[in-house]
Amino acid sequence: MPSVLGVLGCCTDGELTLNEFIERLSLVAEYGGLLGARGLTPEDLELLDRVIPMTKTESSALAVRAARGLRGKIQIRGGYRTAELTPFSAVTFYLDPLVVFERVNGIAKELVNTETIEDADEILRKAGLPSELAFQRSGEWKKYLASGAGT
């Protein structure tokens, strides 16, 4: 089945720096997997302004703020991570998921046959990659919620 992977809000979750994102995006492009890109339009922003308050998304809200000119390093998740906002944060990059899986994201192949979330978390931990599960288990989420950042 044909599919497309859309990535909005690069660097807004604090998992990659801008340089790391550009390196990975360049690899995807090198292998023919960069299918296109589209920035948030005024209409998109109007819709997101209505939807985001009904969710617990920090990353999408930061993409909207980036579309309105906010840039620089920002503490997120109650200081647990730092996001790097740029105009690229307001762009959705469209990628071929097979290229990402087969040629760029080596860890994905290790995760595909895991049977439990603990197995997946262990693979990510050994690779030095942050996971949502590690964030939840660390107790940092309590500070995050107390800060009101996720609301």
Across the chain, which has 151 residues, the per-10-residue mean pLDDT values are 94 91 97 98 97 88 97 88 95 97 90 91 86 73 60 45
Note whether 27 and 103 are within 8 A (CB): yes
Q: Residue 115 domain-assigned? A: yes
CA–CA gap between residue 88 and residue 98 (Å, rounded): 23
Q: Is residue 64 part of a domain?
A: yes
Which residue range(s) make up the domain with 108?
Answer: 5-146
- Give the total number of structural domains in the chain: 1
Q: What is the pLDDT of residue 128?
A: 84
What is the C-alpha to C-alpha distance for residues 18 and 38, in angstroms, rounded to an integer? 18
pTM: 0.81
pLDDT of residue 151: 45
- Pick from 26, 27, 45, 34: which is nearest to 6 by CA? 34
Q: Is residue 151 part of a domain?
A: no
Backbone phi, psi, residue 126, to 5°: -60, -30
What tokens appear for 111 in the block? 């995760």
